[in-house]
Amino acid sequence: MTQPPQGWGGATGPRDGAGGSDVPVCPRHPDQVSYIRCQRCRRPACPECQRSAAVGVQCVDCLREQAKGERRPVTVLGGRAGADKPYLTMTIIAICVLVWIGEQISPQVFQAVAFAPVLGAIEPWRFITSAFAHSPNQIMHIGFNMFALWIVGSYLEQMMGWARYLAIYLVTAVAGTVAWLLFQPVAWGVPGSNTPLVGASGAVFGLFAAVIVLNRHLGRDSSSMVAIVGINAVIGFIIPNVAWEAHLGGLVAGGIVALALTWARTRRSPVIAWAGILGVLAVVLALAVGKYALSPGAPMLLG
């Protein structure tokens, strides 16, 4: 066995029978002799600990330390980049479809998740759950919403990152429900107070607005999205039983949140983005609380 070149440092192991010098061994596996060294730390690395690098190899310890110092990839708006596919959008669509199937099986599913003015104060989770439910008797209701969600959601998820995308979806969903609530009577026994509201339309319109604002900020064309919003706004006044108030609430909330995201990108401050999201949510919740507080005969607010 030949003697290792002079100047090699690192871990050593058993004595070489020929020259009596130390033999380099892997520090992670002392029983493994290795004359291959990491390009960064120059320590011996056995085949199990070797990783191919641009030049030579690196050990797993150096790669781990290098990963800690690297910045995680971000989206064009400064959010944390997610997967290559819009898994969150697909998850939301899957949940909506499963809820709709459940509504076909049992009417209790609809009753458990739908929003009604008299139930919002005592069962506040309905502000969210109603956005994942749709009319059990109108397949076009869920069909249109899921198609629109796939188109704009897939686009925005990649642009914003999954965390901000989820936040704007939930906030605009609640905003749509609250906007509809503001125009409804709230009192036990009063006609209209128990009218159910379901659908992802508020959130979808919020995403519409976000696409328009963000595309304008990035210098991209969004004329087709403006046309879609205009057409659906007209349809909301023509077709009966369409909650145009929810569309309007989601649209306004989505536009404001998107403006906060553009400002955050300009100032390179993620804090501004989340402050805008939480600020819109706070205003929306305050409007809901005010509606119940100022409505005679409304159910008691949760304390």
For 106-141, what is each residue's pLDDT tens digit?
999 999 999 999 898 889 999 999 999 999 988 988
Q: How far apart are CA 216 and CA 218, in angstroms?
A: 5
What pLDDT does residue 16 have?
44
Instruction: Choose among 20, 22, 25, 27: nearest CA to 35.
Output: 25
- Taken in order 240, 241, 246, 251, the sign of the CA dihedral is negative
What pLDDT, in 10s, does the model give residues 250-295? 999 999 999 999 999 888 888 999 999 999 999 999 999 999 988 8
What pLDDT does residue 75 have?
67
Q: How far apart are CA 126 and CA 201, in angstroms?
A: 15
Q: Tell me how far apart the terminal alpha carbons of the chain are, to the nearest angstrom.
A: 81
What pLDDT, in 10s, does the model give residues 159-182? 888 999 999 999 999 999 999 999
Residue with tokens 């209701």: 141
β-strand partners of 52: 57
Helices (H), 106-243: 107-113, 126-129, 139-160, 162-182, 201-218, 223-238
The chain-wide mean pLDDT, for the chain, equals: 84
SS3 272: helix
Q: How far apart are CA 298 and CA 301, in angstroms?
A: 9
Rounded to an integer, the average pLDDT of 221-250 is 82
pTM: 0.73
Q: Which residue has the higher pLDDT, 32 or 67?
A: 32
Residue with tokens 């328009």: 212
| Amino acid in position 104 | Q
Q: Which domains does the chain have, with CATH numbers?
A: 12-69 (no CATH), 87-293 (1.20.1540.10)
